[in-house]
Structure 1
Amino acid sequence: MAHSNKPIKGKFKKSLNLLDLTFLGIGSIIGSGWLYAAQNGANMAGAYAWISWLIGAFVIILIGMVYAELGAAMPRAGGFIRYPNYTHGTLVGYLIGFSAMLAYSSVVGIEVEAVRGYAQSWWPQLGQQDGSPTALGMTFQIALIT
C-alpha cells in the first residue's frame, strides 16, 4: 500500500517535501528588513558592518540548531511557543506567543513603509527628504494595506 502525503481532515501533515521547504525558506527571508538593516548598518559602521552580520548569523545558527533538535525530539505544532512553555512555564510561553503575535502582525506595516520608501525613488512626492511620508505617501501606504 502506497503512503499518501494527503493530510487527513483534522490532522496535521507531518511531512515536508522539497517544495514545501523551499517556500518556507523563501517566505522567511523575503522582506525589506534585511535590506534596510544592511543599509543602516553600513551607514553606522561603514565597511565593518559585515562583522555584525557574521555574529548575527552565528547566533541564529545556534538557535536554529536548538529548535531543530527540539523539533526532532518532540514534534509538536506551535513548537516555537510550546518549547519555552515546557521548559520555563506558562508565563514565558505566553510572553513568547504574545511577542511573536506582535512581531508577525507588525510585518504588514513595515513592508508597506518599505515599499513606499522604495517607490519614492521613482515618485519623489511620496516622501520628504528625511524619509517620512508626505500626505500622498501616507495615502499610498493606506491604499497598499487595504
Structure 2
Amino acid sequence: MIGPALRERALKAERAGRLSDETIADLDATGAFSIATPKEFGGFELPVTQLAEVITEVSKWDGSCGWVVWVGATTNWIPVGLDKRVIEEVCDQAWVGPRVSGTDHHPGTLGRARRVEDGWIVPGGTVAVCDQLPVDAVHEPRLHQRGKRT
C-alpha cells in the first residue's frame, strides 16, 4: 500500500510544484496509469465506475497524486486513433509514468511552438501541461516539429 508514502511526500511535492520521480514510479508500479488503457495495448481497460474508485482512493492520500493519475490514466486512449507507429512508440516502450501528454492552450493568437530538449514551448496565452509523451510527436495540427505554423 503506497497511500502513507504519498501522504508523507505531499507537502514536499506541493512546495516543489511537482510529484517526485519516486512518487511517479510508485504510482506506475501499481498500474495506476494503465487503468484506462485498452487491454490490447497492455492496460486494464477498467469501466468508468472503477476508474473513479481508483482515482478517489489515490486522492484520499494526496489530491495532487489523484489528479495526476486521473490525467495520466484517462489520456492513454488518445494514441489509439493515431498512426500505428505512434501507438507502438507510446505503448511498447518501457516507460515509467503517464504515457501521453495532456495540454490545454488558450492563446490570444496561435503563437509559435519551439522544440526544446524535454518538450515544446508555446508562447502566449495560458498553457497547462501534464504528463510526458515518450515519442517525438505532437497531436496538434497547427504545430510542426520545427515550431512553425502549418
TM-score under structure 2 normalisation?
A: 0.23
Q: Which has the higher strand share?
A: 2
Greater RCO (Cα-Cα under 8 Å, separation 6 or more): 2
Q: Which has the higher helix share?
A: 1
Q: Which of 1 and 2 has greater Rg?
A: 1
TM-score under structure 1 normalisation?
A: 0.24
